[in-house]
């Protein structure tokens, strides 16, 4: 049985960094970031990568069929039974599609959805700070695309929060503290549920 944890958060919330650090601490945990998986597909030069790029480069969501297939394949192929995916779901449709998949897949259980909460101001500062750093800069880290990514994150958020709260699966984590404190808190939560 695979135990799935989802991490959601605004662009710049630190969700991918947090999850990477947790997976680094435990050889029994596998982590995937939807954004990283899409960037890898783009970098591979495949046709699918070119389609994905036409969405990611504008800060738009890649189509639902690509998004769900990407995470389902990742979960299935994960070498460990504890799987953290950050960056999913990002819409009601993605949430409902995953819910349907989980209902018919007895080998995967959604254990918790962790929301890394940061204010829009902090998120913006972090992303635009990253944009100014040539080593970590991403092509979608500029003010205009950031605003689009932020809006696409915020629009469905309430509905996503309500859905997982009603299932008693949502945990909100204050993402404005030091990375160490945030990572420890998420790690403790995961360890207490596996
Ligand atoms: P991130 O690395 O989480 O900031 O994601 C970078 C970009 O990848 C996003 O702006 C979207 O274009 C795309 N992306 C990431 N996750 C998803 C998802 N669950 N559904 C659709 N597109 C996504």
- Residue spans per domain, the chain: 2-189
Question: What pTM was estimated for this model as a whole?
Answer: 0.96
> Measuring from atom 15 of ligand 1, which residue has the nearest CA?
35
Average pLDDT over residues 86-91: 98
Which ligand 1 atom minimizes the distance to the CA of 145? 10
Residue of the CA atom closest to atom 23 of ligand 1: 61
| DSSP tag of 194 | -
Q: Which fold has domain 2-189?
A: Rossmann fold (3.40.50)
**Interval between CA 35 and ligand 1 midpoint (Å):** 5
| DSSP characters over 12-59 | TS-HHHHHHHHHHH-TTEEEEEHHHHHHHHHHTT-HHHHHHHHHHTTT
CA distance 36 to 42: 10
Of the pLDDT bands very low, low, confident and very high (cuts 50, 70, 90), residue 133 is: confident
Helices within 26-139 (DSSP H only):
34-43, 47-56, 64-77, 92-104, 120-131
Report the atom number in ligand 1 closest to the C-alpha of 56. 12
pLDDT for the residue 61? 96
Token pair of 110, please? 């959604």
């Amino acid at each position: 049985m695979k135990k799935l944890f989802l991490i959601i958060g605004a662009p710049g919330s630190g969700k991918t960094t947090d999850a990477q650090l947790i997976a680094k601490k435990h050889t029994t945990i596998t982590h995937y970031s939807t954004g990283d998986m899409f960037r890898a597909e783009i970098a591979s030069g495949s046709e699918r990568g070119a389609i994905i790029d036409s969405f990611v480069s504008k800060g738009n969501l890649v189509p639902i069929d690509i998004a769900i297939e990407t995470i389902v394949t990742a979960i299935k192929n994960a070498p460990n039974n504890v799987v953290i995916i950050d960056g999913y779901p990002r819409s009601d449709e993605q949430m409902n599609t995953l819910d349907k998949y989980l209902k018919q897949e007895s080998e995967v259980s959604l254990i918790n959805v962790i929301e890394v909460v940061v204010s829009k101001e902090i998120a913006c500062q972090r992303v635009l700070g990253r944009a100014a750093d040539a080593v970590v800069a991403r092509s979608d880290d500029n003010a205009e695309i950031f605003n689009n990514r932020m809006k696409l994150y915020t629009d469905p958020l309430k509905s996503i929060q309500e859905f997982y709260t009603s299932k008693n699966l949502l945990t909100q984590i204050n993402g404005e503290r030091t990375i160490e404190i945030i990572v420890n808190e998420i790690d403790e939560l995961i360890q207490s549920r596996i």
